[in-house]
Structures are given as C-alpha cells and as structure tokens.
Amino acid sequence: MGNLAKLFQDEIEKKHDSNDGISPASDGTRKKVLFVCTGNSVRSQMAEALLRTYGGDKFEAFSAGITPAGIHALTKQVLAEMNVTTAGQHSKHIDEFANIKFDYVIPLCEVAALSCVSIAGSHERINWYIDDPIRVLGDDERKLMAFRITRNILKQKVLKFIEENGK
C-alpha cells in the first residue's frame, strides 16, 4: 500500500474508532451500505441481495427507494436463477434511513442520487447509474433478458465493490 493510501486508511480507521461521522455496524466490524433507486423494486433490491450473498461478514446491506413499489417478480426470478434470495427484504422509503449512518451510499439512478442528500452523517457516495429494466418494452422474454442483464451488471459491480472495500 502506498503512503497516501496508508494515510487515507489510517484516517478512515480514526473516524470509525471515534465514531466521528461514520458509525460502524452493530458489531463494529461490518460496513453499512445503502443502495438507493427510484422504486426499490429492482436495482437496489438486487444489489442488496447480492451484497448480502457475496459480502460475507464484512458488510451489512440495505436498500431504499424514492417511491417504493414492492419487489418486482422478475427481480426475485433472476436472482433465484443464481441461488440468491430476497428473503427478508421489502420495499422501503429512503426516509426510513434518514437517521442511520452508513459507510457507503450507492445511488443507482440520477433520481435517487438527488434524494440521497437526506442521509445522515459522513459516508462515501458511489454513483452506479444503471438503466431500469422495467422500462424495457416488448414480450416477456425480452423483459426477462433485461432483468438478467441488470442482475449481471450489478453482480460485477458488487463483487468489485467487495474486493475494493472489504479489507
């Protein structure tokens, strides 16, 4: 690790130790991550489920939306194809998290990014703008393909996020 990276890591650890701006998860070791999209029905639900599945004991995943619409059936279907579950998840409004401190807030669209300003405390914000598969027109097979593509993009991003931030 370079000198600048080491200094940066030391500063982050000081913030975690002092609880200044960033609060660790309940056990003090898991990093809290909030994924936000418009309806909390597809992209943010997928990202939450993927991080829960692949993040192990390093992360605590949450998701929310601007206008919660329930988890889309195709979201559940394409995740189940990879043995990833949304069990225990439900659509939530971003306001439910207004007083919770996160280590990372990840908006998945521009609309969500504008609404993330209400999230408390210091956190690292990472924008992952991903097209909403709900907007794809066509037959059922075309829609299913759009959901699978979104799932695959999110899986790649989540795995990279874990690799870069799971230390």
DSSP result, 18-55: HTSS----TTSSSEEEEEEESSSSSHHHHHHHHHHHHS
Q: Name the packing angle between helices 73-80 and 140-165 (round to 10°).
A: 60
Beta carbons of 79 and 49 less than 8 angstroms apart = yes
Task: Report the catalytic residues.
Answer: 37, 109, 116
Nearest of 102, 149, 97 to residue 125 by alpha carbon? 102
Instruction: Look up residue 148 and give its amino acid.
Output: R
Longest CA–CA separation in the chain, Å: 54
